[in-house]
Amino acid sequence: MRSWIESANDADCHFPVQNLPFGVISHSGGPPRCAVAIGDRALDLAVLEDAGLINAGAGERVFGQSVLNHFMELGKNAWEQVRLQLSDLLADGGNDVLKDDSDLRARALIPLGQVQSHLPFRVAEYTDFYAGRQHAFNVGSMFRDPENALPPNWLHIPIGYNGRASTVVVSGTEIHRPLGQMKPHGTDEPVFGACRRLDLELEMGAVVGLPNQMGEPVTVREADDMIFGYVLLNDWSARDIQAWEYQPLGPFQAKAFGTSISPWVVTKAALEPFRTSTPEREKVLHPYLREPGPMLYDIELEILMQPEAAGRATSISRTNYKNMYYSAPQQLAHHAVGGCRMNTGDLLGSGTISGPEKAQYGSLLELTWGGKEPLTLDTGETRSFIEDGDTLTLTGWAQGSGHRIGFGECSGKILPAPAEKNW
C-alpha cells in the first residue's frame, strides 16, 4: 500500500500509511486536539471529523479533545472503524475527497515540524515491570552473584511496582536531576544531595484502552484485547538513591521524578504483522499467565546519547523488544488477577529491554557494568552515568517489506538538580 502523501512512501519513514499512530498536537496557537502521523505530516482528526470524513461511532465528536482517552474507551470496533476510514482517505486509489480539496488539506495536514506534541492520553495509573530476563540477570549478577541473580519468584510471575502517573511526560520534556538520600560505598551513614548515578531504562509502554471491573480477572487473550497500542518509554532511574531506599518495599523516589514516553501511540493493528512469541518457559507458568498465541512484537530499538556541547548523538545500544520474557498482555493479566481494576489510560512499562550481547543492553548500569567500564562516545567523551546537559533519545521501528512501522523518538534532556532549600 502506498499513500498519495509522498513522504509517507520513503523506505525509512516511521509513519507510512500502514502505521497511522495516534497522538495529540497543537499548532498555530490553537488548543490541543487528536491527530495521526502520516509521512512528515500530522493529520488533524478534529478537522476531518467536523467535515464528516471520519466517525468513531460515538454519537458525538471525540477528536477535538486534548487526550485520546475518549476515543480509546469506545473500544475495538471504533478503533478499527476509524483506522479503515483514515486508510481509505490517505491511500493511493482510495477516497480522494481529502486529496482533491486543497482548502481541507491546508487545514488538516500540518508539517510535523510546525506542531507541538502533547502527552497523548491522560495517564490514569502507571505500573513498571521488571520483565526482561537479561536485564534481571545482569542486575542480579552485579549486586548478588550469577548463581543467585534472579529472585526466587522471577520465573513464575512478572514482577512490577506502581509508579507515579503524575510525572509521566511527553518526549522533549526536560528532566531535573533528583535530590535524595544515598549511602556511598564504604560509608556508615547516608548523605543527602543530587543523584550521582543517573540512568535511563529502555522500555516499551503498553497503553490500556479498555477497563475491566474491580474483582474481575482477565485472561491473557482478554488482556491483549484491552490494549490500545504501544509507545516508547524511558523510565529515568536514580541508581544510588534506589540502592539505599528499595529494601524492603522496592523503588520509590528513585523512580518517581520522571518517565518519558513518545508522542505517538502505535496501534496493535499496525503491529499485527510483527507478532512473535515469548521465549520457551524455564518454569511452567500457572494457567492464568499462559499465552494463547504470539503476544510480543519484533521491534528494533536504539538508544542515542548526546552531551550538551556535542554536535551529534552517539548510538550506544541496539536491541529488540522480542527479547522480553513476559509480554504486556501477561503483565496486564497478572495485574488484574488479584482484583485490581485497570482503567482507560493505564500505562504498563515493560521493564528494561536488554539483549544477550553487551551492545544490546538497555541501561547505562549494564552498559558500563555499574560504572566500572565507561562508554566512549563518538565525540571522544566518556560516560559512566548521565551528566547534566546530556540528551538521551530512544527510537524504534518494526521492519516491514519496504516500509517501517515506527514510533518516532522519545527524548529528554537532563537539567541540574533543583537548588536545595534551607532545611
Which one of 118, 135, 335, 403 is the catalytic residue?
135
Task: Give the amino acid at 26.
Answer: S
Q: Which helix (H) or strand (E) holds 146?
A: none
Which three three-digit cell numbers place residue 148?
Answer: 543467585
Strands 391-399 and 404-415 come out as antiparallel
Task: Give the amino acid at 247.
Answer: Q
286: left (phi over 0), alpha (psi -120 to 50) or beta: beta
Q: List Cα–Cα distances, 152 to 159, 217, 279, 295, 356, in angstroms.
A: 11, 24, 19, 24, 21
Determine whether 335 is an active site residue.
no
Task: Give the amino acid at 142.
Answer: M
Task: Give the amino acid at 359.
Answer: A
Whether the ω angle into residue 248 lies within 30 degrees of 0, i.e. cis, is yes
Instruction: Report the C-alpha gap between 299 and 406 in whole angstroms.
Output: 9
In order, the DSSP letters of 102-122 are: HHHHHHHEEEGGG-EEE-SS-
Write out the catalytic residue numbers.
Answer: 135
